[in-house]
Amino acid sequence: MNRSAEQGFTLLEMVCVLAIIALLSAVLLPFVPRETSRSRLEAYALQAATLLKGDRDAAIRRQVSVATLVDAEGRMIRSGASQRAIRIPEDVRFDAVLPETCQRQAAVSTIRFLANGTSCGGTIALTRFDAGYEVRVNWLTGRVEIVPRHVAIN
């Protein structure tokens, strides 16, 4: 009996096994859930702040009022100056505290920047598990800032 012929794997068998693993990975990888990481959550807050600052700058530059749409139900923030939009994923909690009126007009889910750079204010909160960020717009100065939000886990 020739034992050397029965021991180990041939190169062809190894290549076939690796090919099957690669094929399964390629088919199953799109179905693996992708959750928002803490760094990605921070990136969404930075994108929102950048969009708001751009709208404030546009209001000052053009000397007109610019309104940023904040649609918490639709999970979107849309620039009033450039029509750029940010979509917030489903696994991130998206809350907004917005004024009901701005300069005696209904604000209707917007953060409005006036021609002099001031604003009627507003806060956008993005949270996921124990991490969170608030993007705040100061009502008096129009200043946009990001503040870490500490979330208590129940």
- Residues in Cβ contact with 3 at an 8 Å cutoff, skipping those fewer than 6 apart: none
Residue 54 falls inside a structural domain = yes
What is the rounded average pLDDT of the residues 3-21?
A: 79
Alpha-carbon distance of 100 to 109, in angstroms, equals: 8
Whether 30 is in a domain gets the answer no
Summarize pLDDT for 106-136 with one digit per residue, the tens.
Answer: 888 999 999 999 999 999 999 998 889 999 9
Which region among 30-34, 120-124, 147-151 has the lowest average model confidence (pLDDT)? 30-34
CB neighbourhood size of 50 (10 A): 15
**Looking at the domain assignment, is residue 46 inside a domain?**
yes
Is 107 inside any structural domain?
yes
Residue 141 tokens, joined: 């100065």
Q: Is residue 65 part of a domain?
A: yes
Amino acid letter at 150?
Answer: H
Predicted structure pTM score? 0.76
**How far is 59 from 81, CA to CA, in rounded Å?**
8
* Domain around 122: 38-148
Segment 58-92, tens digit of pLDDT = 999 999 999 999 999 999 999 999 989 999 999 99
Contact between residue 98 and residue 109 where contact means Cβ atoms under 8 Å apart: yes
- CATH number for the domain including 138? 3.55.40.10
